Structure 1
């Protein structure tokens, strides 16, 4: 038969009973026999509960429970701190990231899903929900990665415009979500300069108001694989953002500027103003006299202030960032072919942010090949 388990109150009552018998002169052995336990159990009870009364036992029991609760609270707080430390210092903004973090915490610390969700702020129904991707998710992701690989300097907004042109009916937020999930990003550029001179030739004072109102042109330099330098003369229409022509040669002088402008004036008409910097090719008397003779006006920016020719400088930056920095030209002929192909892409396909992510000239007139790529003269 199993021995009865005594409650603390019953033990204290039996010990008090033995104390009464001992006060009457009875031997200890007789008192132990009256309470029906062994001498070993009696002395163990005295060691644990000797001298206590019933109300004191109850208070001791409450203190033990409180102590156990505090120990458990401290243990839980320590465990929660470890879970939060394992989650990292950053914010877990998306449910997917919280879901992965909770699974990791459950595996590492052996805690329940309820505790991990409470510590990391995830609803349990959200944790249990299995995300169902769309049927076209894989195809859309592949196209986004392909466009990002092909156009390494485009952000997700411009990639969205390319997707729309390719027939995708997709929201820019969905593209951004996939963009971030795949770890795609555009490296940071140099910070913008805030200084601006407001002279008559500045793009702030003289703003384009219609096509063929203001043209701007500037030089860009690069080198072929053998280290030899070549120059590019870029001409753009500031209103439409269209690159009208890119003349490429080892050397370009004021006569070459007149040659390019004369071809463009014949093909497109004479613009109202022609903006440029103060380089010797642009301020040469022959160039200024020739432009004035055909009915156009020159607009020169302040010396050392390229930001006043902002439209052309912006185009030059895109040309270098999206093409020149990523290409190796083994000959001048190869450079002419590749750069002209990029110019056609820039005019007809590349989304432009200031034009509502539309290309500058989807139906641009392609200039004659003898003007776009001039044979090299030595």
Structure 2
């Protein structure tokens, strides 16, 4: 969407009776950035459009993965490995370990993609966890690895956003006792995320779409999720 500066310019121009296109404003801001020297590597509008179109065309074939850590009440580190489908935003896999290795990660890649469901691309960072065993496994499955640049988590933005959502909407509200308890909570959140949680990028639907329930189906009933931290609303006759 438009930034705050875009909105201010459009508002000002409209008050003055002038029609202003967002594309014109965007081009002006691009030129200003180059003149000021703050960003000299911005792509041309034509290049930017072609890159976005290319990513959009392959979105259904891209899966992103990443690890993040969660401390327990005894300050023991738990490592959570997640896989996210780019196009549907569906969380395909979420599992926990206290000792992440290349072999462990490779095994969970196999579990996440049984025969016939293998994606074309796997987007990941350059963490040493993705070692030789992992790379050979992914290659044998016919998946092409796409690595982000070093220290550039924004290049894997979708999965980084999901990690933030898991923290804000779930883990930040809980005290983790052990691995078993964390896995149970994580499994319940994944079900909520995939089947209930609205997503702006999906027109407020969920990764596994829900049918619209008309008012004559009955009254609205709230089903608690994660002990009432979230709810699923449905109509019951």
TM-score, normalising length: structure 1: 0.41
Aligned to 1:225, the other structure's residue is in SS state: coil
Mapped contact 1:197–1:302 kept (Cα < 8 A) = no
Structure with the higher helix share, 1 or 2: 1
**1:271 paired to 2:128:** no
Aligned to 1:280, the other structure's residue is in SS state: coil
**1:289 paired to 2:151:** no
Aligned to 1:322: 169
**1:216 paired to 2:64:** yes
> Is the radius of gyration larger for structure 1 or structure 2?
1
Unaligned runs of 5+ residues in structure 1 are 1-193, 364-378
> 1:337 aligned to 170, 184, 192, which one?
184
Aligned to 2:57, the other structure's residue is in SS state: coil
**1:352 paired to 2:199:** yes
Q: Counterparts in 2 of 1:185-196, with a 5 A limit? A: none
Mapped contact 2:102–2:132 kept (Cα < 8 A) = no
In the alignment, the residues of structure 2 paired with residue 362 and residue 336 of structure 1 have an alpha-carbon distance, to the nearest angstrom, of 25
Aligned to 2:207, the other structure's residue is in SS state: coil
**1:259 paired to 2:112:** no
Deviations 1:238-287 (A, max 9, x none): 110000010112121111111111012216611010000000112x2222
Aligned to 2:88: 240
In the alignment, the residues of structure 2 paired with residue 268 and residue 224 of structure 1 have an alpha-carbon distance, to the nearest angstrom, of 37
**1:304 paired to 2:151:** yes
RMSD between aligned residues:
2.6
Offset, 1:295: 1.0
Unaligned runs of 5+ residues in structure 2 are 1-38, 44-50, 211-237
Structure with the higher strand share, 1 or 2: 2
In the alignment, the residues of structure 1 paired with residue 149 and residue 42 of structure 2 have an alpha-carbon distance, to the nearest angstrom, of 7
- Specify which structure has the bigger relative contact order, considering alpha-carbon pairs within 8 angstroms and separated by 6 or more residues: 2
Change (3 A) 1:204 1:305: farther
Change (3 A) 1:280 1:324: same
Aligned to 1:207, the other structure's residue is in SS state: helix
Aligned to 1:69: none
Mapped contact 1:215–1:237 kept (Cα < 8 A) = yes
**1:230 paired to 2:71:** no
In the alignment, the residues of structure 2 paired with residue 211 and residue 343 of structure 1 have an alpha-carbon distance, to the nearest angstrom, of 21
